[in-house]
Structure 1
Amino acid sequence: MPGQFEPLPGGGAAVALDDVEISIIRSLAVQLLELIGPGPGADASDDPLADLFAEGPSEPPADPVLKRLFPDAYIDPEGTPQAAEAEEQRAHSAEFRRFTENDLRAGKRENALAVVRSLDALASAGTGGAVLKLSAEESRQWLSCLNDLRLAIGSRLDIADEDDTDLLYRLPDEDPRKPMVMAYLWLGGLQETLVGTLLP
């Protein structure tokens, strides 16, 4: 079980993590929370219907990581549309973002918080690492958070496709990106084994 998720009887997954691994995942999840931003503050409405129709931002984020986490819905990154078509795509993307980004951020925030909470509970149980056991729902939250963490790190490493990933394997140890690359690859292994536990 070390380093990989295994299915639990009746659903869910388990993985053995040492203290360093717990610390790394927790730190990355907290950084993701800081990047996504806080949820509704004290001035949030008590009316759930009003919250449902609250509008979010219409412009894409400036930070490249947030752009990767919250991409435009109607713009084809591979295509080069004509000016009129591009303007129409931008307008549709802005409208879509305005009504969906708040919910997307809330979902990503909740998934990252679930990861932090489960690791905090694990760390408080003792020292020297432990076996993390997740329910089926917690497994889905972890999977989403691991995906977001890899997207964030991949964006910082300028990973655009599989060829870029292959180049990362050959980085020399003295390259300053090496620790981030190792985290990216390790999280990918965790993500892959967690997906395996969710398959029928």
Structure 2
Amino acid sequence: MAGQFDAIPGGGASVVLDEVEIAILRSLAVQLLELVGPGDEPVDGEDPLATLFSEGPSEPPADPALARLFPDAYGGPDVKPDDEESRAFSAEFRRYTENDLRARKRDDALAVIRALDALTLVGDEGAVLKLSPEESQRWIGALNDLRLAIGTRLEVTDEDDGGELYRLPDSDPRKPMVMAYLWLGGLQESLVETLMP
């Protein structure tokens, strides 16, 4: 069934995607790359070891979607550290981890784009995407990041049961984003369930 991952021999997963689904997933992954940004690229001729240990930003992102993707280590995604010591610890943690986290999120989104670009459509039947276990993990990460970013834009909270989203009229400008959010959730859930032992 389209949109549901199935297990394949060797521990990977497969899913049938039609042309529209491929285009939507690719577009969203590209937007995620743009949102996450290029990060701090090493300067030509710079010592690779120095680059590896370079410090990242110490302040949380101003964009709410980025703040959700890169939350403070102390306090949680919706809770700002309330004392000076917690803010200092969060800044220190961010300085040494955010660059690596950004790189991983970029790599996950690029893995999605590359996998989709390698597909060959077969008429109206769509294309079969086959993922190795490692590729499946990257897809889980990218699908999660996409849902977090879209959910933040839709102002979805942990307490929401999604009922309000299901009841949006078709005329609501948020409807396409809601449909993408719900669809990505179904894809992510089926991929996780497929990979569970």
Same fold (TM over 0.5): yes
Counterparts of 1:41-190 in structure 2 under 5 Å? 41=41, 43=43, 46-76=46-76, 86-123=83-120, 128=124, 129-163=126-160, 165-190=162-187
**2 CA distance for matches of 1:80 and 1:67?**
11
Identity of aligned residues (%): 70
Paired residues, what number? 196
Task: Report the Cα offset of residue 43 of structure 1.
Answer: 1.6
Contact 1:150 1:184 in 2 (8 A): yes
- 1:196 is the counterpart of 2:181: no
Query: In structure 2, what residue type is equivalent to 1:66?
Result: L
Q: Which residue of 1 aligns with 2:20?
A: 20
Compute the TM-score of the two structures, normalised by the length of structure 1: 0.91
* CA displacement 1:67-95 (0-9 Å, x = unmatched): 000000012567797x6xx1111110000
Relative to structure 2, which stretch is displaced further, 24-33 or 37-46?
A: 37-46
CA RMSD of aligned residues (A): 2.0
How far apart are the structure 2 equivalents of 1:67 and 1:180?
Answer: 19
CA distance in structure 1 between the aligned counterparts of 2:123 and 2:85, rounded to whole angstroms: 56
Q: Which residue does the alignment assign to 1:9?
A: 9
Structure 1 unmatched ranges of 5 or more: none
Q: Name the SS for the 1:16 alignment partner.
A: strand
Give 1:163 deviation, angstroms: 2.2
Cα distance in structure 1, aligned partners of 2:38 and 2:90: 23
How far did 1:45 drift? Answer: 5.6
Native 8 Å contact 2:71 2:77 kept in 1: no
Give, in whole Å, the separation in 1 of the partners of 2:17 and 2:6.
Answer: 13
Q: Which deviations, in whole Å up to 9, do the C-alpha atoms of 1:101-121 show, x marking residues without a partner?
A: 000000000000000000000
Q: Which secondary structure does the structure 2 equivalent of 1:163 belong to?
A: coil
| Letter in structure 1 aligned against 2:154 | L
Deviation of 1:39 (Å): 4.5
* 1:31-51 CA-partner distances (Å, limit 9, x unpaired): 000111115546256533212
Q: TM-score, normalised by structure 2?
A: 0.92
